[in-house]
Amino acid sequence: MCPVDVTIEYHCFLQALAHDVLDLTLNRVVVEENVGRSPAGGAKVKTRACDLDSRDRFWMSQKGSPFPIVAEAIQEELEQYRSSEEEVKRLKASMVGDRFLFYIQ
């Protein structure tokens, strides 16, 4: 007889979550995006396939991590991306300014 108070524990690791929610099959996830309305009034859907393999640095480092850890890692990656984007904008602005000064002289 099985005790009634046995707790079923489901670990929410990234790989298991991707498999359950995104239909991960053979390390490939196919995602549909709504990209607007068609002329007939229906939704335009764009399909994108993502290979989750050894070339995907984030996937390789996080696939066995619990989801709360993955969420923190996503936030860190996003902050790094935004920081890099700001640096590129700053460098672009300084190059435009340098070119402008070159043409004036």
Residue 2 resides in a domain: no
User: Using alpha carbons only, what angle is made at residue 16 by residues 11 and 19, rounded to the nearest 5 degrees?
Assistant: 155
Range of the domain at 88: 14-104
Residue 29 resides in a domain: yes
State how far the Cα of 33 lies from the Cα of 22, in Å rounded to an integer.
13
Tens digits of per-residue pLDDT, 39-85?
Answer: 777 788 899 999 999 999 999 999 999 988 999 999 999 999 999 99
Q: Mean per-residue pLDDT for 86-96?
A: 85
User: What per-residue confidence (pLDDT) applies to 34?
Assistant: 85
Q: pTM for this one?
A: 0.64
As for how many domains the chain has, the answer is 1
Q: What are phi and psi of 13, to 5 degrees?
A: -85, 155
CATH code of the domain in which 92 resides: 3.90.830
The answer to whether residue 4 scores a pLDDT higher than 70 is no
Residue 5 resides in a domain: no
